[in-house]
C-alpha cells in the first residue's frame, strides 16, 4: 500500500459520476445504419479503404451472434445507443493546454490530472467523448521519432503506417463486438516507438464517456519497433446515467523483436456500462509484453487481454485486479498463446467480491505443438467479503506440446477475523481496516502502476469499501 494515500483524499466518488454540461453538435442520433457509418467516415475525411473496412465490419456485425459465454448481453438494445458524438465547441484537438476549453480542463483537474503533472509526463492524450481535448508529446520524444497521436489524426497524418497495422491483431471477424468496433470506431490513441528508442516516463491517456447512452469505441494502436521500450497507461471513468452505455474499444499492440512494452489501465466506467473491450498483443522474438489492469466499474465486464507469443523467447506478464460490488459482474481473465519455443508467461489475477458482486476468472492458456520449453505460471486469488458475493474460476488449458512447464494455483479467501482484530486493536476503524487489508491484497499488482495511479487505485478501493448495498 502506498504511504502517499492522503494525496487524493479530497477526491470523492462524485467526481466520477458528475456529468459536464455539454452541447452535442451531432446530437442524439441513435441506432446503427450504413448512412451513419458513411457520415462518420466523411466527417473524419477518411481514406477510402477505411470506409470500406467500416462497411465490411458493419455487415459482419449484423450477421454475427452474441458470444455464447460470459455475461448475459441480451439486454443491450443496439438500436437505442448513440454510436458517434463530439462536443460542439471543439474543432479538432488542442496542442497547447491553454487551448483546451475550460469546462474540459476542469473535468481533467477533478479527475486528478493537475496541470503541473504535465511536466512529469512524457505526453498526455485525453479523449473527451470522441474527440481529443488535449494532446501533447514532449519535444525530446518527438525528436526521437516517437508518434503519440489521437487515432483519427494519426489516420490523416500517417495513413500507410495505420493501414499496415489497423485491425491486423484483432481482426474484424474475431467476434461480434470486434466487428461493431470496426464499423463505428472513433478516436483513441496511436503510439509508435521507433527502433531502439526507450521512453522511460509513462505515456498517458484519460478516457471519459459523457454523452448519455453513448457507446465509446476508441481504438488504441501501438507499435513498438525492435529494441524499443515504453509504458502506456490509461484510466477511464464515466459519469452516471440512467440508461445503458456500451463500451467496445479495441487495443492492438505490436511488440517487435527484443522490444519491451507495458500497457496499464484503470477502468472505472459507471455502473450502467457494458465494458466489452478487446485487448491483444503480438509479441515477437525475445520481446516482453506486460499487462497491468484494474477493473472497478461497469455493471457488466468481459475483458481478457491476450498475448500471442509468436517469436522464440517472447514473454508476457499479465497482472489484473477486478472489484465486483453490488450489481456487478466482472468476467475477466487473461489469454496467452505460446506459439514458439522458449516462450514464457505469468498471470496473476486478484479479485474482490462484495455486496453480492460476482467475479469470474476466465483464462485460456494455449501451447501450440512445437512451442518446446514453454513455461507458464498462473495464479488466481479471490477475496470474498461477504456471504452474498461470489467468485468462479474457469481456466482453460490447451497444451499440444509435451516439453513444457506449467503451474496453476488458485485460492479463495475471506478477510481473516484475526487480521481485522489486530488492526482494530491499534485504533483503526473496522471500515479502514478492511480497506487496508484489501489494498494489501492487491498490492502486488498496484505496485506495478506509476505512483499517481497506484494512489488513485487505492483511493478507488477505499471508496468501493465504503459503498453499502444500494
Q: Among residues 248 and 437, whose Cβ is nearest to other proteins?
A: 437
Q: Binding other proteins by CB under 8 A: which of 1, 131, 321, 367?
A: 1
Distances (CA, A) of 140 to 45, 144, 151: 30, 7, 21
Residue 11 within binding range of other proteins, rule CB under 8 A: no
CA distance 321 to 58: 33
Window of 84-92, 143-151, 259-267, 416-424 that interacts with other proteins by CB under 8 A: 416-424
Among 4, 52, 62, 120, which residue sits at the site for other proteins (rule: CB under 8 A)? Answer: 4
Backbone angles phi, psi at 398, to 5 degrees: -125, 100
Judged by CB under 8 A, does residue 10 bind other proteins? no
Integer CA distances (angstroms), 107 to 17, 21, 463, in order: 11, 11, 19
Query: How far is it, in rounded angstroms, from Cα 336 to Cα 316?
Result: 8
Give me the helices (H) in 128-174, please: 139-143, 151-157, 159-165
Binding of other proteins at residue 55 (CB under 8 A)?
no
> Between 257 and 444, whose beta carbon lies closer to other proteins?
444
426 touches other proteins (CB under 8 A): yes
Q: To the nearest whole angstrom, how small is the minimum distance from the Cβ of residue 468 to other proteins? A: 18
Using CB under 8 A as the binding rule, whether residue 330 contacts other proteins is answered as no
Residues 6+ apart with CB under 8 A from 97: 105, 115, 118, 134, 136
Q: Where are the beta strands (DSSP E) in 72-175?
A: 123-128, 131-137, 147-150
Give the rounded distance of the alpha carbon of 287 from its chain centre.
21
CB of 432 to other proteins, least distance (A): 7
8 scored as a contact of other proteins (CB under 8 A): no
424 lies in the binding site for other proteins (CB under 8 A): yes
Using rule CB under 8 A, residue 196 touches other proteins: no
- Round to whole Å and give the CA distance between 183 and 206: 23
Q: Does 23 bind other proteins (CB under 8 A)?
A: no
Grid coordinates in use for 392? 468462479
Taking the complex as a whole, the smallest distance from the CB of residue 305 to other proteins amounts, in Å, to 23
Q: Which stretch binds other proteins (CB under 8 A): 36-44, 167-175, 219-227, 437-445?
A: 437-445
Nearest-approach distance from CB 231 to other proteins, in angstroms: 22
Helices 430-441, 417-424: axis angle to 10 degrees equals 120
Contact region for other proteins (CB under 8 A) — 3-11, 59-67, 138-146, 310-318? 3-11
The cell 474527440 sits on which residue? 131
List residues binding other proteins (CB under 8 A): 1-6, 416-419, 421-430, 432, 436-437, 439-444
Amino acid at each position: 500500500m502506498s504511504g502517499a494515500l492522503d494525496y487524493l483524499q479530497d477526491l470523492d466518488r462524485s467526481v466520477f459520476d458528475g456529468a459536464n454540461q455539454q452541447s452535442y453538435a451531432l446530437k442524439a442520433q441513435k441506432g446503427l445504419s450504413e448512412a451513419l457509418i458513411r457520415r462518420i467516415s466523411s466527417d473524419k475525411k477518411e481514406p477510402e479503404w477505411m470506409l470500406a473496412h467500416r462497411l465490411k465490419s458493419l455487415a459482419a456485425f449484423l450477421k454475427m451472434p452474441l458470444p455464447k459465454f460470459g455475461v448475459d448481453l441480451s439486454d443491450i438494445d443496439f438500436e437505442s445507443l448513440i454510436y458517434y458524438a463530439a462536443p460542439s465547441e471543439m474543432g479538432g484537438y488542442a496542442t497547447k493546454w491553454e487551448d483546451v476549453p475550460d469546462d474540459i480542463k476542469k473535468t481533467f483537474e477533478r479527475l486528478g490530472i493537475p496541470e503541473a503533472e504535465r511536466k512529469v509526463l512524457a505526453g498526455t492524450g485525453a479523449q473527451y467523448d470522441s474527440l481529443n481535448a488535449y494532446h501533447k508529446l514532449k519535444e525530446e520524444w518527438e525528436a526521437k521519432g516517437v508518434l503519440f497521436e489521437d487515432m483519427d489524426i494519426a489516420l490523416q497524418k500517417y495513413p500507410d503506417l495505420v493501414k499496415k497495422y489497423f485491425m491486423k491483431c484483432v481482426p474484424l471477424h474475431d467476434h461480434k463486438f470486434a466487428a461493431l468496433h470496426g464499423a463505428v470506431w472513433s478516436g483513441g490513441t496511436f503510439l509508435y516507438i521507433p527502433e531502439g528508442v526507450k521512453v522511460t516516463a509513462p505515456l498517458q491517456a484519460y478516457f471519459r464517456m459523457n454523452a448519455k447512452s453513448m457507446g465509446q469505441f476508441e481504438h488504441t494502436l501501438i507499435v513498438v519497433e525492435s529494441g524499443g521500450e515504453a509504458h502506456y497507461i490509461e484510466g477511464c471513468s464515466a459519469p452516471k446515467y440512467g440508461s445503458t452505455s456500451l463500451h467496445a474499444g479495441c487495443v492492438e499492440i505490436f511488440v517487435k523483436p527484443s522490444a519491451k512494452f507495458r500497457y496499464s489501465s484503470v477502468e472505472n466506467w459507471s455502473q450502467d456500462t457494458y465494458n466489452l473491450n478487446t485487448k491483444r498483443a503480438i509479441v515477437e522474438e525475445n520481446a516482453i509484453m506486460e499487462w497491468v489492469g484494474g477493473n472497478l466499474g461497469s455493471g457488466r465486464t468481459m475483458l481478457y487481454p491476450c498475448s500471442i507469443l509468436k517469436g522464440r523467447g517472447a514473454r508476457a506478464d499479465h497482472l489484473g485486479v477486478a472489484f465486483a460490488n453490488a450489481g456487478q459482474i466482472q468476467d475477466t481473465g487473461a489469454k496467452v498463446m505460446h506459439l514458439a519455443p522458449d516462450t514464457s508467461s505469468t498471470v496473476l489475477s486478484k479479485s474482490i467480491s462484495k455486496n453480492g458482486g460476482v467475479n469470474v476468472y476466465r483464462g485460456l492458456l494455449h501451447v501450440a505443438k512445437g512451442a518446446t520449453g514453454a513455461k507458464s505460471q498462473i495464479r488466481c486469488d479471490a477475496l470474498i467479503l461477504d456471504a452474498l458475493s461470489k467468485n468462479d474460476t474457469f481456466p482453460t488449458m490447451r497444451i499440444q506440446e509435451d516439453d513444457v512447464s506449467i503451474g496453476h494455483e488458485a485460492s479463495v479467501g475471506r478477510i481473516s477475523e484475526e487480521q481485522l482484530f489486530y488492526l482494530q486493536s491499534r485504533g483503526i476503524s473496522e471500515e479502514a481496516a478492511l480497506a487496508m487489508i484489501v489494498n494489501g491484497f492487491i498490492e502486488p499488482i498496484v505496485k506495478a502502476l506509476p505512483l499517481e495511479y497506484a494512489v488513485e487505485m487505492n483511493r478507488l478501493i477505499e471508496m468501493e469499501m465504503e459503498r453499502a448495498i444500494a
